[in-house]
Amino acid sequence: MTGGSDIIRFQADHHPLVFNGRFASLTEYCLHLVHQKAYEEAALLAAGRTVLDLGCNNGYGSAVLGQVSCQVAALDVSPTAIEDAQARFGNCGIDFRVYDGWKIPFDDLSFDVVVSLQVIEHLEDTEPYLTEITRVLRPSGVALFTTPNAAIRLEPNMRPWNEFHVREYRAAELAELLKPVFAEVDVRGLFATEELYRIEYERCQRALQTARNRHSQSRKSLAEQGRDKLVHLAKAILPSWALDCLRARRTVTPAELDPAIINKYSTDDFFYRSDNLDEALDLIAICRAA
């Protein structure tokens, strides 16, 4: 899925599970709705069709697709994510599999729809990823991608502040990447009601400011450098289960968001449109094969 085995291994070993059914804040819940909305949009295209969810994390969105599709397969590079997906949604008839990040383990022309949401920004080399998608996609099939909108997240030539992202795209850049591969490419932007738009926009701006501050520091103290070396050494030599135990010990379980607040908001508060894409919270590309 990426241009290097080290990046694949890092994503597989360390990327967190996206959905655990609990939300500590409205900001966290809002981000969940952003992701959930994309799967609901994909479900509109997937009804009654064979679908591949490529980069499914722990299957929270595969379950949405499974409610309307005739067949769903779901792949991720993380064994932990697939194990959690099988535990949560194993009774939904979805074919969950771990894969190597390079070769999609299905025959040519296997799927009517390929859904790959919040994946492309994790890739260093997108060519093998897109080649594999077009290989398993049937003629006139649909591929659907979502990705964060770099226009509200990054300054020009700035590296992504999300440690798992290799490159983030503006709308025009995403279209430019996909148009040589697909017969039709339609890029739209995700927007929301004023309150939820502000919550997600401000989350991104806070992260951007933190990244600016980090980059403005000319050098780290010797103590910080030593700490970072120890952290990298630990990640290199400790098994993933040991790292999970260490994270669990230092993590304080947050209070859960009031259910009344959760009930107040839903994916109905979000919508896609084709204008003002530099202001969009997220990008979606609906692509049709030749």
DSSP string covering 121-133, please? Answer: GG-S--HHHHHHH
Give the pTM: 0.85
**pLDDT of 218 above 60:** no
CATH superfamily of 5-288: Vaccinia Virus protein VP39 (3.40.50.150)
Q: Say what the pLDDT of residue 20 is.
A: 76
User: What is the pLDDT averaged over residues 212-225?
Assistant: 64
Burial grade of 173 (CB within 10 A; 0-12, 13-18, 19 or more): middle
Instruction: Give the C-alpha separation, 224 to 266, whole Å.
Output: 42
What are the two backbone dihedrals, phi and then psi, of residue 52, each rounded to the nearest 5 degrees? -115, 125
Q: Which two tokens stand for residue 14?
A: 């360390």
**pLDDT of 1 above 80:** no
The share of the chain scoring above pLDDT 70, in percent, equals: 85
User: Per mean pLDDT, which range of 4-8, 64-68, 170-174 is the poorest?
Assistant: 4-8
User: Per mean pLDDT, which range of 52-56, 79-83, 153-157, 231-235 is the poorest?
Assistant: 231-235
User: What is the pLDDT averaged over residues 64-93?
Assistant: 96
- Going by the DSSP 8-state scheme, the letter that residue 258 receives in this structure is P
Angle among Cα 155, 161, 162 to the nearest 5 degrees reads 135
Confidence of residue 246 (pLDDT cuts 50, 70, 90): low
